[in-house]
Amino acid sequence: MIAITDIPPTEVQDNLNLLKADLDSKIPFKKLDKNLLIATWNIRAFGNLTRKWDSDDEDSPKRDLHSVLCIAEIISRFDVIAIQEVKDNIRALRDTLKVLGKNWSFILTDVNKGKVGNGERMAYLFDTRRVHLSGLAGELVVPEEWEDNIGKHALSKQFVRSPYAVSFQSNKHTFILVTLHILYGKSPQSRIEELRGIAKWLYSWADSINAYHQDFIALGDFNIDERGDLLEETFLSEGLYIPPQLQNENVTRSIFDTTKFYDQIAWFNSQGNGPKLSMEFINGGNYDFVPYALANRDLTKQSLSWLISDHYPLWAEFKV
């Protein structure tokens, strides 16, 4: 059986070299004690894989070893990345970590069972040379007293994929990341109550931890359909801030539809005594892997979405 640690065929290595060169030109380099690169990526059905360099039409799953090499190369450009849609079977995740090497580690949730949970986990992968865990890991629990403010039926569904909070330290700076994968539901209106409840909870927690000089960043797949729609307004209703660089129309989220605004990296930027990020934001964007990842195979976007993803990774660079 072929292993991810085997030497890849020449055509696979040539494709990886093209991907690396494109990443070098588009993602900031890691600079010791100067910057911090935080990212989020919904990797479609990130679970099992086929142990071939190039999967065939009859293979299931479609994701193969070449795909994992591409995914790992993209992830390696960041210091810490939140990943959504990690499945019950984590073979692809484990192979990704093998490619990343001994300096990388991870922490993840248990599986969300049930039809709506879709057998998903959420995970953080991080470069231990730049970032390490600082002690906190937990999932969102909304107090029952808030039910009247966020809708009577919101609590019955929002915990299927509970937001996952983990604290990290870079140099001497502590920050808390909360990753989300909002339930898509049958319509945009079905997401409003959950988004409202989560926004309220995020503000309450960010406001309390701000006294301890810890930064708080929310990131993940919020399933916001379009810029400026009611879903975005609801998510930002408690003061969450999305920097202009990540609101740019050229910073697309979906490989299929440039208008979608699903994925976000956001924080509170209060002008008064409320929570405010102490790290200086430098820049941010997405990474469009479509022209280079697996480019030697002449794939449709639909096929590419099962091998790599249907979402682009989103990143933000901070000064530390």
| pLDDT of amino acid 144 | 62
Q: pLDDT tens digit string along 38-50?
A: 999 999 999 999 9
Among 121-130, 267-276, 283-292, the least confident range = 267-276
Residues whose CB falls within 8 Å of the CB of residue 88, separated by 6 or more in sequence, listed in order = 47, 111, 119, 121
Decide which of 57 and 21 is more confident: 21
- Region 10-319: CATH code: 3.60.10.10
Give the residue-averaged pLDDT of 283-302. 97
Neighbour order of strands in the sheet with 132-139 = 132-139, 164-170, 173-181, 215-221, 263-268, 240-241
Pairwise CA distance, residues 241 & 279, whole Å: 14
**pTM > 0.85:** yes
Cα 243 to Cα 269: distance, rounded to the nearest angstrom: 10
Residue 147's pLDDT is 53
Closest-CA residue to 108 (of 184, 41, 166) = 166
Rounded to an integer, what distance in angstroms lies between the CA atom of residue 283 and that of residue 211? Answer: 26
The structural domains of the chain, with segments of one domain joined by +, span 10-319
**E strands within the chain?**
35-46, 80-87, 104-108, 120-127, 132-139, 164-170, 173-181, 215-221, 240-241, 263-268, 280-286, 314-319
Instruction: Provide mean pLDDT across the span 207-229.
Output: 78
The one-letter amino acid code at 63 reads R
pLDDT at 72 over 90: yes
Residue 175 structure tokens: 């920050």
